[in-house]
Amino acid sequence: MRDLVQRYARSLEQLARAEQVIPLGAQTFSKSRTQYPVGAAPLFAVRSHGSHTWDVDGHEYVDLVSSLGAVVLGYGDAEITEAVTRQLESGVTLSLSHPIEEQVASQLVDIVPCAEMVRFAKNGTDATSAAIRLARAATGRDHVIACGYHGWQDWYIGSTTRNLGVPQATSALTHAVPYNNLDAVERTIAAHPDAIAALIMEPMTSTFPDPGYLEGIRELTHRHGIVLVFDEMLTGFRFAPGGAQEYFGVTPDLAAFGKGIANGFPLSAVTGRRELMMLMEDIFFSGTYGGETLSLTAASVVLARMATGEPTKQMADIGERLVAAIDHERSPQSHEFLQFSGHPAWTFMQWSIDDANTLNEVKTLFMQEVLRRGVLVLNTHDVTTAFTDEDIAHVARVYAQALDLIETALVDGDVVSRLECATLVPLFKLRS
């Protein structure tokens, strides 16, 4: 334990200072001590470049988190940096709208199937919440069906266990349904006849849609006058240039994008059919920084590259090769307790351990061991085009070493004794 405390000494010191002035010591739950084991993990980074990140203690990591999926072309992409630096000299947030707003909106309209008009914001929650308000305005209805994770605003988070501070009346308007379950959607619609304004969903997370599932969602929502919203925060600009809606060939009424749209610069967008988007002129959706030029400049570069189709092909290839390399290096027995699922550009680790306490202990031990060996990961592989063959080989070796240790610990029944930190416990389940 002493070795790890020394390894992360500056992280621990920084955490102590940060917690005096910042709740949790971080701005984002997914970057906080709730997700990384204190004393056995880096908690603060000082630099990222390409596919690597350096922590405050000077340790280097192959970064599979990729800024929670917001980076798709690698950190510090030269073309983006040059364009943003050039724009910086002309201004960041101006007193009038800037032509780049139309330019980037047009780029989105060109590649996203549902996009006829676009509005920009900063966070993913901004865009999903705008889509819900549009749907309610268009239908005159209040209720929402949600499938997946859609941000921190009351309308969604009130339907989860993290609902402290959300009025019960608000929580009662949102109904969560599991993925790949059309019957659950039909039952929810039947329970609230002519009351559902929107069905918002992540078109895919850890599991591919069953044949006909997304098409069935499209047909059901159309038949009942419900606005279909795809939350493409992570599928957008990873699965295909036009997102999961292009990849699966199912077009929603509205869609929300963010994350990779600007390769880590703060930008999100809500897009969709013209008649729905035109309601933006009547509802109130407005922000000082929606037209901030540096993020839009970054997005312009990203979207131009995405339009070629090459980055999404690269990420899929890298993701496939990464899992293949891990499977080649690790023992056959480890397949019994860890599998991989999802799209290659956004791959999920699936742990097959029935006991919840043991599962949490194993996941914490895995993080402890891969982090000390120079791999930064949470529970998904959010690969970027910057990953190299050397990165893939390094991750595969590290995973094999960590999984060998876990295999032995499970056989010997001493997982806890191998932990050099407290066991992490999930905040809440994001996705069904």
Q: Known catalytic residues?
A: 149, 231, 259
Element (H, E) at 163: none
Let me know: does 149 contact 180? Beta carbons within 8 Å. Answer: no
| Residue 79: Cβ-neighbour burial (10 angstroms; 0-12, 13-18, 19+) | middle
One-letter amino acid for residue 198 of the chain: A
Let me know: does 232 contact 256? Beta carbons within 8 Å. Answer: yes
**Three-state DSSP class for residue 48:** strand
DSSP code per residue over 173-225: TEEE--TT-HHHHHHHHHHSTTTEEEEEE-S-SSSPPPTTHHHHHHHHHHHTT
What are the residue ranges of helices labelled H in 56-203?
66-69, 78-88, 99-111, 124-139, 154-157, 168-171, 182-191
The tally of CA atoms less than 13 A away on the side-chain side of residue 40 is 20
CA–CA distance from 254 to each of 41, 226, 273, 381, 392 (Å)? 39, 11, 7, 27, 36
Helix axes of 356-372 and 389-412: crossing angle, nearest 10 degrees: 140
CA–CA distance from 333 to each of 48, 173, 380, 405, 408 (Å)? 35, 46, 21, 12, 10
State the Cα–Cα distance between residues 173 and 69, nearest whole angstrom. Answer: 30
